[in-house]
Chains A and B, each alone.
Chain A
Amino acid sequence: QSVLTQPPSASGTPGQRVTISCSGGSSNIGSNTVHWYHHVPGTAPKLLIYSNNQRPSGAPGRFSGSKSGTSASLVIRGLQSGDEADYYCAAWDDNLNGWVFGGGTKLTVL
Chain B
Amino acid sequence: QITLKEAGPTLLKPTQTLTLTCTFSGFSLSTSGMGVGWIRQPPGKSLEWLAVIYWDDNKQYSPSLNNRLTLTKDTSKNQVVLKITNVDPVDTATYYCALRRNSGNDWRGWLDPWGQGTLVTVSS
Contacts and interface: CB of A to CB of B under 8 A. Distances in A.
Chain A complexes with chain B? yes
Interface of A: 2, 32-33, 35, 37, 43-47, 50-51, 56, 88, 90, 92, 96-104
In this complex, the member of B62, B112, B115 whose beta carbon has the largest number of chain A beta carbons within 10 angstroms is B112
Given A44-B96, A44-B115, A45-B96, A101 B106 contact: no
Interface residues of B, number: 27
Contacts, number: 64
A33 B109 CA distance: 8
Nearest to A45: B114
Contacts of B113: 44, 46-47
Contacts of A92: 108-109
Nearest to A31: B108
B112 A47 contact: yes
Name B's interface SS.
Answer: strand
Given A44-B117, A51-B105, A96-B63, A101 B46 contact: yes
Contact of B116 (A2, A44, A88): A44
B48 interface: yes
27 contacts: A37-B47, A43-B116, A44-B115, A44-B117, A45-B114, A47-B110, A47-B112, A50-B110, A51-B103, A56-B112, A88-B47, A90-B110, A92-B108, A92-B109, A96-B62, A96-B63, A98-B60, A98-B62, A99-B111, A100-B49, A101-B39, A101-B46, A101-B47, A101-B48, A103-B46, A104-B46, A104-B47
